Structure 1
Amino acid sequence: MSSYMTAAEAAEALGISRATLYAYVSRGLLRSAPGVDTRQNRYPAADVRRLARRKADGRRAGKVAQKVLDWGVPVLESSITLIADGKLFYRGHDAVELARDATLEDVAALLWECAPRRIADAPAAPIASAQWSAWLKLWSAHTPLERALVLLPAAAAQIPRVWAQGRDAQLDSGAMLMRLLAAALISAASSNEPLHRQFAHAWGLRGRAAADLLRAALVLCADHELNASTFTVRCITSTGMHLFGAASGGLAALGGPRHGGETMRVAALLDDASRAPDLHRFLAERLAPDERGASDRSAPLPGFGHPLYPDGDPRARLLLDLLGQRGAARSAMTGIDALIQAVMETTGARPTVDFALASLERVLNLPRGAAFALFAAARVTGWIAHALEQTADGRLIRPRARYVGEFDAGA
């Protein structure tokens, strides 16, 4: 396929006249280049297709404006993550394939567009170990989320270059943020050891197989396009806030029960299902309408059914497969497999990555909240990539609202 289009081809692709095409060029909406063997200009095919997609999105947005922020049309452009045809890609690389061997640090380097060595060699946060230990002790009784929400801002106040906008400074801040968040989540000292090993050590897991499960889970959760927490991070970053501040906002969004906090709801579902003598009756009661005649359609079964993966979440599929292959986990997986099958037969819905993370927590006998800790420690790498991209873009994210309230024109 040619990388350039003629004026006629470009106008047809955009559904406009040639005069309008030339106007687009003069307004800076489209580039043109001199032809090789002709006087007529050529137009980069990629630019034409991108502009055509924007026009199509604009037409659709006019019809479904109220759905734009609810699994609707794209609201900004990014070169970080693609979700298409039931697959997830990090900068063009299949995330499921990466999860088979890569570490989260490898994926961070891919997402941040730097060498892995750059992350490994980044300086440690300038926080005295005694001070960090004191902070951990003070917040030891709190949940990983609560601890991280307190310690990230506290750590930011100790970093002299936290506001620096240069790329090197931001990469240093990103590496510090990644390490400190993990340390806060598992209540440990900050380390540059691969995060999956840090988590395995903190949770008393022995053997490479268990650590590999954590590694795969971290890679699969590194980014997921423009979800609620990532959009929050990009909005905060667009105001000029530093990485630690943006990540704190993202962490608060992630902790909600309809986002990363759903892992805790899945854990409760697994507990309830394990005590049910009849899974199908249990599901029927769970899905039945309440006394008002309406069931909770927002999420009657947490951890099942993802709007972006109608044929099943590939992240969950791989993680559950890996978990089921582990010999010591097979007996513990029996109840989980039974629940998946019963839900499929009852609703047709398939498990999401939230369900897989909660299953990992249950099968490996990890501390309560470990599923969320894995999710948060992984997702910060994606947040940093999006923050770097938003900083490079330089624009303030400021959507408009459609007013639907009362209005007194004569006031």
Structure 2
Amino acid sequence: MTPGVGGQDGETRDPWIPRAEVLSLLGVKTQTLYAYVSRGRITARPDPADPRRSLYAAADVARLKGSSSGEAPGVVLPFEPPAVKGEALVQSTVSLISEGRLYYRGRDVAQWAQNARVEDTARLLWGAEETNPFAGLGVRVDSAVGASHRARLFAALARRAEEAPSSLGRSPDALRIEAAVAMNEVVDAVAGPGPRLFFHQRLARGWRMLERDSVHLRRALVLAADFDLDPAVLATRAAASGGASPAGAAFAGLAAASGSALARILARSIAYVAEARRDPAGAAQRRMAEEGAIPGFGSETFPHGDPRADALLALADLPPDLTAVIREAEAACGQRAGFAAALAIMARRLELPREGASDVLLIGRLTGLMAHALDQIIDGSPIRARLRYVGPRPQGE
């Protein structure tokens, strides 16, 4: 009988097993295990004997191991070739999660975000470190309109998507410049036209932030750029593989990102932070009693702490009420603040509008989605997938 997972009818003797045993049982690499965890296929928790390590739900492992292919239907494995029949395989050079860290093209994101600007991050992720696609960009006279920041963001990006030609046959440099133009117009649509400052400075002026606080906005935008494989990335790459321009592909991805799991958790985190500022301990206890969790705290992908949250909050100089929100929530749920909670808290620290944290997430994410669009267009690696019909049989059969 296999230790940890075994017995009749898939029963488990030990509900939690270490990483090495999971890798051995499933025959996968560490990156694939992280992908399973990030998508909720395998539950992870800190090891009580050593919080630096994780334990994994043996029942989840047994369920995956019991499928005919060794994996659950519909799982997307970005790092584990060859693809299992019926799955999509997406090859990416943009970002990687490994050993509890997030990397942008090999750069540790927590370290990169200390000094990098949005433009620096775009050039890194877009493969444009030798050139500057943002050089000489000006103000568009007919700026996009809309009732909210998000409406203007989507309007500006949709306009660029409609105006841009197909990406087929175009040079990488031309595509990168087009992506930079789209980013420039989106920032103007959100922040309003003004001096040609760096993107984070223009947004800070639009939100009437203190200049000294714009460093926190810069860091948040950089940290939000990319994170593993999700429906937003798939939507972006699928559109790009069909010939869409960088703006068109990114528009498809941003639409998916606006309804993503992270966006939903962020919305709940924003509401929780507003509630908890008035009564940190009481709010934490109420949420635990009602839901058994606190929105934005804890991470299956980063069970020992999300490095993006740590990087965002490390130099935030939070006031006592926001510090208490974090302290009481972590004490109540036993888990650290994740990126959604950190972003919601930082938005309060910067006194952004109610939906400011969500706007920051989408603007920051646009940089990464443009990177995936360019990566797909320039690299040309196909997305291999099969569609299996499971609907009603044709009449007459």
* TM-score category (smaller protein): 0.7 to 0.9
TM-score computed with the length of structure 2 as normaliser:
0.73
Between the aligned partners of 1:360 and 1:391, the Cα distance in structure 2 is 35
For residue 169 of structure 1, the aligned residue among 171, 174, 178 is 174
Gap change, CA 1:230 and 1:122, over 3 Å in 2: farther
2:306 equivalent in structure 1 = 313
Of structures 1 and 2, the one with the larger relative CO (CA 8 A, separation 6+) is 2
Q: Deviations over 1:328-379 (max 9, x none)?
A: x32242332234323xx43x33322111111111122111221122222222
Q: Deviations over 1:214-240 (max 9, x none)?
A: 111112112113222122111111111
1:356 equivalent in structure 2 = 342
The 5 A counterparts of 1:179-218 are: 179-186=184-191, 188-189=192-193, 192-208=196-212, 210-218=213-221
1:334 equivalent in structure 2 = 323
The 5 A counterparts of 1:3-18 are: none
- Structure 2 counterpart of 1:321, one-letter code: A
Between the aligned partners of 2:254 and 2:327, the Cα distance in structure 1 is 33
Between the aligned partners of 2:320 and 2:294, the Cα distance in structure 1 is 23
C-alpha displacement of 1:395: 4.9
1:92 equivalent in structure 2 = 106
1:34 equivalent in structure 2 = none
For residue 297 of structure 2, the aligned residue among 297, 301, 304 is 304
| Equivalent pair of 1:122/1:172 in contact (CA under 8 Å) | no
2:227 equivalent in structure 1 = 224
C-alpha displacement of 1:68: 1.0
C-alpha displacement of 1:402: 4.8
The 5 A counterparts of 1:7-406 are: 62-69=69-76, 75-115=89-129, 118-121=132-135, 123-124=137-138, 127=140, 129=141, 131-132=142-143, 135-136=144-145, 139=146, 141-142=147-148, 144-158=149-163, 165-186=170-191, 188-189=192-193, 192-208=196-212, 210-256=213-259, 258-276=261-279, 278-287=282-291, 301-323=294-316, 326=317, 329-342=318-331, 345-346=332-333, 348-397=334-383, 399-402=385-388
Between the aligned partners of 2:151 and 2:79, the Cα distance in structure 1 is 32
Q: CA RMSD in A?
A: 3.1
| Equivalent pair of 1:99/1:216 in contact (CA under 8 Å) | yes
Gap change, CA 1:155 and 1:387, over 3 Å in 2: closer
TM-score computed with the length of structure 1 as normaliser:
0.71
Between the aligned partners of 1:70 and 1:117, the Cα distance in structure 2 is 33
C-alpha displacement of 1:405: 5.3
- Largest Rg, 1 or 2: 1
**Structure 2, unpaired ranges of 5+:** 1-27, 34-64, 82-88
Q: Secondary structure at the match of 1:152?
A: helix
**Structure 1, unpaired ranges of 5+:** 1-51, 289-299
Between the aligned partners of 1:73 and 1:67, the Cα distance in structure 2 is 14
| Equivalent pair of 1:162/1:173 in contact (CA under 8 Å) | no
Choose 278-287 or 104-113, whichever is displaced more: 278-287
**Number of aligned positions between the proteins:** 328
Q: Secondary structure at the match of 1:302?
A: coil
Q: Deviations over 1:265-321 (max 9, x none)?
A: 211111233345723531233316xxxxxxxxxxx6431232221211110012122
C-alpha displacement of 1:85: 0.5
Q: Secondary structure at the match of 2:310?
A: helix
Q: Secondary structure at the match of 1:397?
A: coil
C-alpha displacement of 1:160: 7.0
Between the aligned partners of 2:194 and 2:250, the Cα distance in structure 1 is 17
C-alpha displacement of 1:394: 2.6
| Equivalent pair of 1:239/1:396 in contact (CA under 8 Å) | no
Q: Secondary structure at the match of 1:175?
A: helix
| Equivalent pair of 2:91/2:381 in contact (CA under 8 Å) | no
| Equivalent pair of 2:137/2:184 in contact (CA under 8 Å) | no
Between the aligned partners of 2:160 and 2:201, the Cα distance in structure 1 is 23
